[in-house]
Amino acid sequence: MNEEFNNLPKEERPYERCIRHGAEGLSDRELLAVFLRTGAKGRTVLELAGDLLKLVPEREGFTGLRRLGLAELSGVRGIGKVKAVQIKCILELARRMAREEAGKGIYFKNPASVAEYYMEDLRHEEQEVLLLLMLNQKGRLIREKYLFKGTVNASMISPREIFLEALSSRAVQIILLHNHPSGDARPSREDLNVTKRVGEAGALLGITLTDHIIIGERSFVSLREKNYL
């Protein structure tokens, strides 16, 4: 057991509390402290964990922590680059597990249901992210794949890559989903070009591009609803 935990009062030692009560009995602060292992000068590991969970005042907890970049996390006294990477990986692992579990029973019936499901993931991204959703005939999510991060440019998006992914997943329909970091969800000319190229390629292969949805700041635009598909 880490020496720093031994220096804590017995009732505050996360390892011992986990053994007695199970991981589900730990608070968010205690869970994070287990991964951090050590605090900073003048702050115990539990105090450091508590401070981290309050770094984003408008969304305290792990959700707020996930919004912070590596540079922001590593700049916190007592964290540094290694712990920052560990934190980001732990949060990403939790996100993927939750998404994987939820995805088993997710059916997308309309653009609003897609936008609602991905809104919190995408609206805080500082760069454009292009996501491919692969669905069966009934609209159940089979798999998702992050294809691109940067400026969504038609010349850089490969329909071949998109449909290789779709074919390997036996998808019969796909949805493209990306964010606009500006918060304005209105489609750009490049967005329309990407949609046209992918839609035409899908028609040749018998895999329908059901929609291309753009996420803004608590808003979205469906190119299907806007009659671009």
- Which pLDDT tens digit goes with each residue over 133-178? 999 988 888 888 888 777 666 557 788 889 999 999 999 999 999 9
Q: Are 11 and 31 in contact (CB under 8 A)?
A: no
- Please give the mean pLDDT across all residues of the chain: 83
Q: Which domain holds residue 11?
A: 3-101
Helical axes 28-36 vs 45-52, angle rounded to 10°: 120
Tell me the per-residue pLDDT of 78-126, one tens digit each, with 9 for 90 and over: 888 888 898 888 888 887 776 666 555 677 888 998 888 888 778 777 7
Q: What pLDDT does 153 receive?
A: 62
Q: What pLDDT does 11 receive?
A: 46
The stretch 204-229 carries a mean pLDDT of 92
| pTM of model > 0.85 | no
Domain count for the chain = 2
Is pLDDT of 6 > 70?
A: no
Is pLDDT of 3 > 60?
A: no
Q: Which domain-ending residue is among 76, 101, 126?
A: 101
| 117 and 180 both lie in a single domain | yes
Length of the chain: 229
Q: What pLDDT does 151 receive?
A: 67
**Is residue 125 a part of any domain in this protein?**
yes
| 48 and 85 both lie in a single domain | yes
Q: Give the helix, strand, coil percentages of the chain, each rounded to 5.
A: 50, 15, 35
| 201 and 121 both lie in a single domain | yes
